[in-house]
């Protein structure tokens, strides 16, 4: 059993924007935290079906952030986004359109923490997300002996009363696809792409409309005979449409789109004592436009029941 079977929903993220030189109010958009975290969707065995049963995953994530925030202000140099995620995902024997059907959900807790503080930047604890991420449908297909593909739909409902930095005040809908190519007994390539659509701000009197985001990811892993794997990973995230309306400070959105490119490593190993799999991912983000950046680290433990 490998982590990635449910990792599509295991995620958190910040998309905010930075621009060197003169800062204009319209250069920046509102930040978001999404379940479509870069660095998960093309992980080892991304599209492979794990067989019937329940899969549980616990993930800790830490994102040390640099750059400027959504309003063009420099963020504290010691700011980190920390989260704890719990996912349950059930694989069935049912087939739809020739693919194995599965479904699941993820709960997220955590926040944006200045260094040395026990409370997040909104002076609250464990307040990244109140509503769960839900995947009502995921389908996995096997093509021949070497190729596996998967597709999924995931959503999260927004809050009509909340803070856009933590409790997202718009609904999010995601369509995603993954592919795994077992090149030979020791090498595997994984690919993923997803589209994220956000609705208009649900709060009364607000007209903010976040843009649509595209995610493009790939990895190449070497598999060892003892069950371990080590691989390189790359992702690219970009705005496909402009943000619109006004943010919470009354600033006009939509002048600039953002993009972000990250590279990193993934290491996986079986933990035989508890019949689980450990996954460690580490990424840096050397290329960006109008976007926060930093170092992302994830530690996940997954078990099939």
> In order of start, what are the domains of the chain with their CATH numbers?
3-304 (2.40.160.40)
State the pLDDT at residue 125. 57
* Under 8 Å between Cβ of 19 and 68: yes
- Nearest-angstrom CA–CA distance, 59 and 53: 20
State the pLDDT at residue 99. 97
* Under 8 Å between Cβ of 91 and 53: yes
State the pLDDT at residue 146. 95
**Residue 238 carries which DSSP code?**
E
Distance in Å from the first CA to the final CA of the chain: 10
- Nearest-angstrom CA–CA distance, 7 and 101: 16
Task: Render pLDDT for 223-271 as a digit per residue (tens, 0 to 9).
Answer: 999 999 999 999 999 989 988 888 777 777 776 778 889 999 999 999 9
Query: How many Cα atoms are found within 13 Å in the side-chain-facing hemisphere of 198?
Result: 31
Residue 182 β-bridge partners: 188
**Residue 272 carries which DSSP code?**
G
**Could you tell me the CA-to-CA distances from 289 to 59, 251, 256, 263 in Å, in that order?**
28, 20, 9, 16
**Could you tell me the CA-to-CA distances from 271 to 193, 207, 224, 227, 299 in Å, in that order?**
30, 49, 15, 10, 13
- Nearest-angstrom CA–CA distance, 16 and 67: 9
- Helix, strand or coil, per DSSP, at residue 7: helix
Task: Render pLDDT for 287-305 as a digit per residue (tens, 0 to 9).
Answer: 888 777 889 999 999 999 8
- Nearest-angstrom CA–CA distance, 291 and 305: 40
- Nearest-angstrom CA–CA distance, 107 and 127: 11
State the pLDDT at residue 128. 64
Q: Which residue has the tokens 């079977």?
A: 5
pTM of the full predicted structure? 0.84
Task: Render pLDDT for 58-74 as a digit per residue (tens, 0 to 9).
Answer: 999 988 887 765 555 66
Burial class (CB in 10 A: 0-12, 13-18, 19+), 136: exposed
- Nearest-angstrom CA–CA distance, 59 and 297: 10
| Residue 25: pLDDT band with limits 50, 70, 90 | very low
The neighbour count for residue 105, using CB atoms within 10 Å, is 18
- Helix, strand or coil, per DSSP, at residue 12: coil
State the pLDDT at residue 243. 85
């Amino acid at each position: 059993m490998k982590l990635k079977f449910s990792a599509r929903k295991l995620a958190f993220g910040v998309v905010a924007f930075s621009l060197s030189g003169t800062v204009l109010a319209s250069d920046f958009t509102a930040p978001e935290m999404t379940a479509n975290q870069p660095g998960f969707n093309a992980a080892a065995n991304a599209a492979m079906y794990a067989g019937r049963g329940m899969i549980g995953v616990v993930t800790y994530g830490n994102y040390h952030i640099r750059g400027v925030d959504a309003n063009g202000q420099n963020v504290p140099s010691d700011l980190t986004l920390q989260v704890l995620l719990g996912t349950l995902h059930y694989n069935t024997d049912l087939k739809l359109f020739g693919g194995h059907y599965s479904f699941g959900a993820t709960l997220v807790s955590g926040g944006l923490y200045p260094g040395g503080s026990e409370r997040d930047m909104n002076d609250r604890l464990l307040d990244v997300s109140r509503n769960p991420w839900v995947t009502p449908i995921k389908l996995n297909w096997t093509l021949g002996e070497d190729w596996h593909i998967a597709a999924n739909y995931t959503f999260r409902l927004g809050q009509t009363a909340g803070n856009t930095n933590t409790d997202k005040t718009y609904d999010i809908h995601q369509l995603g696809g993954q592919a795994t190519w077992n090149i030979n007994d020791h090498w595997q390539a994984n690919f993923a792409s997803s589209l994220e659509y956000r609705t208009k701000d649900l709060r009364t009197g607000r007209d903010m409309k976040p843009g649509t985001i595209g995610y493009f990811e790939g990895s190449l892993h070497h598999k060892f005979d003892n069950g371990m794997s080590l691989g390189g990973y790359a992702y690219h995230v970009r705005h496909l449409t402009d943000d619109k309306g006004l943010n919470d400070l009354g600033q006009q959105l939509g002048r600039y789109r953002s993009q972000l490119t990250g590279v990193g490593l993934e290491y996986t190993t079986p933990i035989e004592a508890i019949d689980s799999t450990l996954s460690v991912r580490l990424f840096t983000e050397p290329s960006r436009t109008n976007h926060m950046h930093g170092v992302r680290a994830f530690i996940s433990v997954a078990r099939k029941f």
